[in-house]
Every structure is written in C-alpha cells, then in structure tokens.
Structure 1
Amino acid sequence: MSSSVVDALRQVVADSYALIGQTHLCHWNVRGPGFFSLHNAFELQYTELFAAVDEIAERIRAKGALAPGGLTNLANMAGIPEIAEDASADQMVKHLIEANEKLLGDLKQARDIAGEASDSESEDLMIARIQVHEKTVWMLKSYLG
C-alpha cells in the first residue's frame, strides 16, 4: 500500500464532500433569471459527485486504508471556503468554479502520485474524475459568458 496514494485519495474525498455541500447549498438558494437552469445543473452536479466519491472512498478501502469522514474533518481537510447563503447566482457560479478548480488540482496531484506508484487503477479513477470536473468548470464558465 502506498501511503502517498492513499493520502492523495483521501484529499480528493475531502474536496469532493466539500464541493457536494457547497453545490447543494447553491442548489437550494439560487434565485434570479437563471434559477431553473442553475437549480437543475447544480442538482445534476452534486448527484453525480455523491456517487463518484463513494467509488473513491472504496478505492481507499481496497488499498487497505480508512476513508475520511465527519463533516468537520472533511471541511478542514478540504479547506474550501463556504459561500454565503444569500449569494447571488453569479457569485455562486464563480464560487463553484473555484471549488471545482481546487478539486481539479488535487485530482491531478493524485493522478500523478498514483502514476509514479504504478497504481494504474487509482490513476485511471483520477483521470476519469478530472474529465468530469474539467467539463463542469467549462459549463459553469460558459454560464457567465
């Protein structure tokens, strides 16, 4: 078991949970002319991410380590700031772009660490997640124009 791979995967789990929480908050509280499109997009994003994080946590377990948990612990590990409940739709989109970009950085780091450790399965899992979050960032940026 490579502890550096596990540590990198644990970071991805923490980031992902923080992003789920932030995206869900935006889903609940978005308002304005873009309400319907953003409300639906945010729901698709957090739903997809919730299923994906389970696969990453299970990969950690398959490697013989424990997956991180607890909202406070995950939030502290992720270090992703929280957005105000009354943020505007554009502020929400910008915030979620930044949160996805933070996660992308940690996904790429995990991919590289897994590659160096010859852990093709973890590397492949990170590559798939990178593709999802790059698309999410593109879509969120496109909303802003």
Structure 2
Amino acid sequence: MTEQMKVVPKAEKVDTGVENAKGLAGALSGAVADTYRLIFKTHAYHWNVEGPLFYSVHHLTDAQYNEMFPAADELAERIRAIGQLAPHALAEVMKLSVVKDLTSLPSTLEMVEDLAQDHAAVAVRFHELIKLADDNNDPVTADLATRRSAFHEQAAWMLRATAK
C-alpha cells in the first residue's frame, strides 16, 4: 500500500478567524447527529404510515427527509472546513442526538406529533448553535444554522397543522 493510502484524518488548525473551532465542531456534530436520526425516523414513519392521513403524511415526510439528507452533508463539511473531524460512527450519532426513538411503532397521529416535537427540539439546538457561532466569530456557521433552524421550525409547524 502506498503512503498516500495510509493517511488518517485528523483535526488541524485553520486560520480564518473562527474561535473555539473544537466547541463549534461539537455543536455541529450534534446537528449532524440530529439530522441523521431525524432522517431515519422520518423515513421509517414514511414507510409505515397508514390510515386517512396516509397520502398527506407520506408525501410530507418524503419532502422532509429528502430536504434533510443534503443538509447533513453540508453540516459535516462545515465541521471539516473549520479544521475538525465530523462524526464517523453510528454510535456517536446515537449518543449526540436529541432525537430519540419511541419504544413501539406509533399511530399516524402519534407519528406526526412525535416528528413535530423532534423538529422543534432540533430547531432549539440550532438556535444555540447560532449563538455559539456568533460568540466565536463564525458567521458562516451562524448562517448555516439559521437556515437549518428555519427548515425545522417550518417542518414542526406543518406537522402540527397536520395533527389538528
């Protein structure tokens, strides 16, 4: 094996004026974890939804998980851009996320309510990331977190409106 193939990724100092890159990367890692867990949960509910709301919930969840998948990549790449390592193990994703699984497959209404609560909790974490980014001279992360929070707030609203 050539030496080029033996490179192991490691954190590095990137001098763009961003302060506390390690702390920002930790918060961004939580955002990646939340996004991945919410993608899976949304997709699982999409596959299993039944009843009179089937069509609307099936299509709403399809739009939501498809929007979140590229967002996870953007968040992880931001971690790399500030010189830190992105999450690399599913166990780490599970540990870092505020999104949790229910103990059994819920009813359609419970699915919608559960996803709405998850989106709201993730939005709150993005609000915290915005503040952390602002406090550490990182307008790029603040902008990214603002866009992601807006998505999760809208997703929570749409799901709450569906559950009425």
Q: CA deviation at 1:75?
A: 1.2
Mapped to 2, the partners of 1:86 and 1:6 lie a distance apart of 33
What does 1:1-145 align with in structure 2 at a 5 Å threshold?
A: 2=20, 3-84=22-103, 86-145=105-164
The CA deviation string for residues 115-142 of structure 1, in whole angstroms up to 9 with x for no partner, is 0011000000000111111110110010
- The SS at the match of 1:132 is helix
Q: Which structure is larger by alpha-carbon Rg, 1 or 2? A: 2
Which consecutive unaligned segments of at least 5 residues does structure 2 have? 1-18
User: Structure 1 length as normaliser, TM-score?
Assistant: 0.95
Mapped to 2, the partners of 1:79 and 1:125 lie a distance apart of 19
User: Structure 2 length as normaliser, TM-score?
Assistant: 0.84
Let me know the Cα RMSD of the aligned residues: 1.2
Which consecutive unaligned segments of at least 5 residues does structure 1 have? none
Amino acid of the structure 2 residue aligned with 1:58: E
Mapped to 1, the partners of 2:154 and 2:105 lie a distance apart of 26
Greater helix content: 1
Aligned pair count reads 145
Shifted more, 129-138 versus 67-76: the winner is: 67-76
